[in-house]
Amino acid sequence: MKRNRTALITGSARGLGVRIAHELASHGIRIAINYRTSVVEAEHLKHELETAYGSETLLLSGDVSHPADAERMALAVIDAWGSLDMLILNAGPYIKERKKLADYTPSEWDAMVNGNLSSAFYLCRAAIPYMRRQRFGRIVTVGFEKAQTAPGWMYRSAFAAAKTGLVSLTRTIALEEAEAGITANMVCPGDIIGDDKQRRISEARQIDQGDTPVGRAGTGEDIARAISFFCAEASDFITGTVLEVTGGKDVLNKYKLEGER
Which domain covers residue 171, as residue numbers?
6-245
| Residue 257, domain member (yes or no) | no
Which pLDDT value is given to residue 261?
34
| Residue 84, domain member (yes or no) | yes
Which pLDDT value is given to residue 255?
55
Which pLDDT value is given to residue 204?
78
Which pLDDT value is given to residue 33?
98
Over the chain (261 residues), the average pLDDT of each successive run of 10 is 87 94 97 95 97 96 96 97 97 91 96 97 98 98 95 94 98 98 96 82 76 83 96 98 92 57 34
Which pLDDT value is given to residue 3?
67
Cα 184 to Cα 74, 172, 210: the distances in Å are: 17, 9, 34
| Residue 260, domain member (yes or no) | no
| Residue 250, domain member (yes or no) | no
CATH number at residue 120: 3.40.50.720
Which pLDDT value is given to residue 4?
84
Which pLDDT value is given to residue 206?
82
Q: How many domains does the chain have?
A: 1
Residue (of 174, 193, 163) closest to 92 by Cα position: 163
| Residue 98, domain member (yes or no) | yes
pTM for the whole structure: 0.94
| Residue 191, domain member (yes or no) | yes
| Residue 1, domain member (yes or no) | no
| Residue 261, domain member (yes or no) | no
